[in-house]
Amino acid sequence: MKLLMTRHGETQYNKEKKYYGRTDIELDGLGLRQARELADKLKATTIDYAIRSDLKRTQQTMDAIMQYHPQTKQIIEKDIDEMPFGIWEGLNADQVEARDPTTWAAWLQAPFDVTPAGAEPYRVFEKRVTTALDHYRETLPSNSTLLVVAHQGVLRTLYRCWTGGDFWSVDFKAGCYSVFETGDGGVSLVSLND
């Protein structure tokens, strides 16, 4: 199976460097342009299935792509929603540090093990996301092409779990797509940010 993995276009909160996992914000002007650029890049590519999270920013990104793929089977999958950040939602790093200094300092030391109040623990998020994508990898035809429109945290988590790569070292850019392929040995990265 070929996996085309892409991040939604930019939002105002991206521009402001805010944590906003579950906040259902729309794309900004640049984000809408990025979605159109991505759609142009993929318009000649065969896409058998397209999966997105349940949030507006992935819906807007997928809508732009799907105008060229009216026959593609579309799936909304809440289990690939971004990780909610609890009391950190809508705040940038400086605001988080000012309001929640103890948790912030601990999180910087162990980001996969420290959870802000009201947030989803990373290990729960990781299991949710990988279980969802593994289900589709195992049940959809092995010769199909699957587009996934998701979020930076989701894509980094899948990259880390599938390839063993470092979560923080990879950046999935808006307006681009990355190609993964599945085989007997698991999932491998073919290209990043095409």
Instruction: Please count the CA atoms within 13 angstroms of the CA of 66 that sit on its side-chain side.
Output: 21
SS3 139: helix
| Cβ–Cβ < 8 Å for 19, 85 | yes
Euclidean distance between CA atoms 99 and 173, whole angstroms: 30
CA 152 – CA 150 distance, rounded (Å): 7
Sign of CA dihedral 61, 63, 67, 73: positive
Residue 37 annotated as catalytic: no
83 φ/ψ angles, rounded to the nearest 5 degrees: -65, 125
Give catalytic status of residue 151 as yes or no: no
Query: Which is the catalytic residue, given 8, 10, 77, 120?
Result: 8
Q: Which residues pair with 178 in a beta bridge?
A: 5
Q: Which of 10, 82, 120, 126 is catalytic?
A: 82
C-beta separation of 61 from 9 below 8 A: yes
Write the DSSP symbol of residue 21.
Answer: S
Cα–Cα distance for residue pair 41/142, rounded to 1 Å: 24
Looking at the annotation, which residues are catalytic?
Answer: 8, 82
